[in-house]
Amino acid sequence: AQSVAQPEDQVNVAEGNPLTVKCTYSVSGNPYLFWYVQYPNRGLQFLLKYITGDNLVKGSYGFEAEFNKSQTSFHLKKPSALVSDSALYFCAVRDIRDNNDMRFGAGTRLTVKP
Protein backbone atom coordinates (compact mmCIF):
# COMPACT_ATOMS: atom_id res chain seq x y z
CA ALA A 1 0.00 0.00 0.00
CA GLN A 2 1.07 3.55 -0.61
CA SER A 3 2.17 5.97 2.10
CA VAL A 4 3.39 9.51 2.49
CA ALA A 5 5.75 11.09 5.00
CA GLN A 6 6.02 14.76 5.80
CA PRO A 7 9.06 14.83 8.05
CA GLU A 8 8.53 18.34 9.40
CA ASP A 9 5.55 19.19 11.61
CA GLN A 10 6.37 22.88 11.36
CA VAL A 11 8.29 25.11 8.97
CA ASN A 12 9.04 28.74 9.75
CA VAL A 13 10.31 31.21 7.17
CA ALA A 14 10.61 34.95 6.88
CA GLU A 15 8.50 36.79 4.33
CA GLY A 16 10.33 37.13 1.04
CA ASN A 17 12.55 34.11 1.65
CA PRO A 18 12.21 30.88 -0.31
CA LEU A 19 10.25 28.08 1.31
CA THR A 20 10.36 24.30 1.03
CA VAL A 21 7.88 21.83 2.50
CA LYS A 22 9.15 18.28 2.28
CA CYS A 23 7.31 15.13 1.20
CA THR A 24 8.50 11.61 0.55
CA TYR A 25 6.35 8.74 -0.64
CA SER A 26 6.24 4.99 -0.94
CA VAL A 27 4.26 3.11 -3.60
CA SER A 28 4.48 -0.27 -5.26
CA GLY A 29 3.97 1.10 -8.74
CA ASN A 30 4.15 4.58 -10.23
CA PRO A 31 2.82 7.45 -8.14
CA TYR A 32 0.38 10.23 -8.69
CA LEU A 33 1.31 13.02 -6.26
CA PHE A 34 -0.76 15.94 -4.98
CA TRP A 35 -0.32 18.96 -2.73
CA TYR A 36 -3.22 20.56 -0.88
CA VAL A 37 -3.36 23.55 1.47
CA GLN A 38 -5.76 23.95 4.37
CA TYR A 39 -6.60 27.32 5.89
CA PRO A 40 -8.33 27.53 9.30
CA ASN A 41 -11.96 26.41 9.21
CA ARG A 42 -11.79 25.76 5.49
CA GLY A 43 -11.53 22.65 3.39
CA LEU A 44 -8.47 21.46 1.56
CA GLN A 45 -7.62 23.47 -1.51
CA PHE A 46 -5.81 21.86 -4.42
CA LEU A 47 -2.41 23.37 -5.24
CA LEU A 48 -0.82 21.11 -7.83
CA LYS A 49 -0.31 17.54 -8.95
CA TYR A 50 2.24 15.35 -10.71
CA ILE A 51 0.85 12.76 -13.09
CA THR A 52 3.49 12.31 -15.75
CA GLY A 53 5.90 14.33 -17.88
CA ASP A 54 8.01 17.24 -16.66
CA ASN A 55 9.30 16.63 -13.15
CA LEU A 56 8.77 20.28 -12.20
CA VAL A 57 5.11 21.03 -11.69
CA LYS A 58 3.77 24.56 -11.32
CA GLY A 59 0.60 25.22 -9.40
CA SER A 60 -1.57 27.84 -7.80
CA TYR A 61 -0.36 30.93 -5.89
CA GLY A 62 3.20 30.66 -7.22
CA PHE A 63 3.88 27.23 -5.74
CA GLU A 64 5.79 24.51 -7.53
CA ALA A 65 6.95 21.01 -6.72
CA GLU A 66 9.63 18.75 -8.09
CA PHE A 67 9.11 15.03 -8.56
CA ASN A 68 12.30 13.11 -7.83
CA LYS A 69 11.88 9.41 -8.53
CA SER A 70 15.29 8.33 -7.25
CA GLN A 71 14.72 10.05 -3.91
CA THR A 72 10.96 9.26 -3.88
CA SER A 73 10.29 12.88 -3.02
CA PHE A 74 7.86 15.58 -4.06
CA HIS A 75 8.90 18.71 -2.16
CA LEU A 76 6.75 21.84 -2.38
CA LYS A 77 8.57 25.10 -3.05
CA LYS A 78 7.98 28.79 -3.51
CA PRO A 79 10.71 31.32 -4.38
CA SER A 80 9.38 34.12 -2.18
CA ALA A 81 7.06 33.41 0.76
CA LEU A 82 4.13 35.62 1.71
CA VAL A 83 2.57 35.98 5.16
CA SER A 84 -0.69 34.83 3.58
CA ASP A 85 0.96 31.48 2.70
CA SER A 86 0.80 30.55 6.38
CA ALA A 87 -1.39 27.44 6.54
CA LEU A 88 -1.36 23.65 6.85
CA TYR A 89 0.03 21.79 3.84
CA PHE A 90 -0.72 18.20 2.94
CA CYS A 91 1.04 15.94 0.49
CA ALA A 92 -0.93 12.99 -0.93
CA VAL A 93 -0.14 10.00 -3.11
CA ARG A 94 -2.06 7.54 -5.20
CA ASP A 95 -0.62 4.39 -6.70
CA ILE A 96 -1.26 4.40 -10.43
CA ARG A 97 -2.90 0.98 -10.05
CA ASP A 98 -5.27 1.97 -7.24
CA ASN A 99 -8.02 4.28 -8.36
CA ASN A 100 -9.62 5.00 -5.06
CA ASP A 101 -7.21 5.20 -2.21
CA MET A 102 -5.42 8.51 -1.84
CA ARG A 103 -3.10 8.57 1.17
CA PHE A 104 -2.32 11.84 2.88
CA GLY A 105 0.63 12.84 5.00
CA ALA A 106 0.11 14.18 8.51
CA GLY A 107 0.59 17.75 7.32
CA THR A 108 3.16 20.49 7.78
CA ARG A 109 2.27 23.80 9.35
CA LEU A 110 3.94 26.64 7.51
CA THR A 111 4.35 29.96 9.30
CA VAL A 112 5.64 32.95 7.37
CA LYS A 113 6.70 35.83 9.57
CA PRO A 114 6.78 39.46 8.43
Partner 1 sequence: GAGVSQTPSNKVTEKGKYVELRCDPISGHTALYWYRQSLGQGPEFLIYFQGTGAADDSGLPNDRFFAVRPEGSVSTLKIQRTERGDSAVYLCASSSVGRSTDTQYFGPGTRLTVL
Is there a contact between 103 and 91 (Cβ–Cβ < 8 Å)? no
DSSP for 70-111 reads TTTEEEEEESS--GGG-EEEEEEEEETT-SS-PEE---EEEE
By CB under 8 A, name the one of 14, 51, 56, 83 that touches partner 1: 51
By CB under 8 A, name the one of 45, 55, 80, 111 that touches partner 1: 45
Minimum CB separation of residue 15 from partner 1 in Å reads 26
Query: Contact residues for partner 1 (CB under 8 A)?
Result: 4, 32, 34, 36, 41-46, 49, 51, 90, 92, 94-96, 98-107
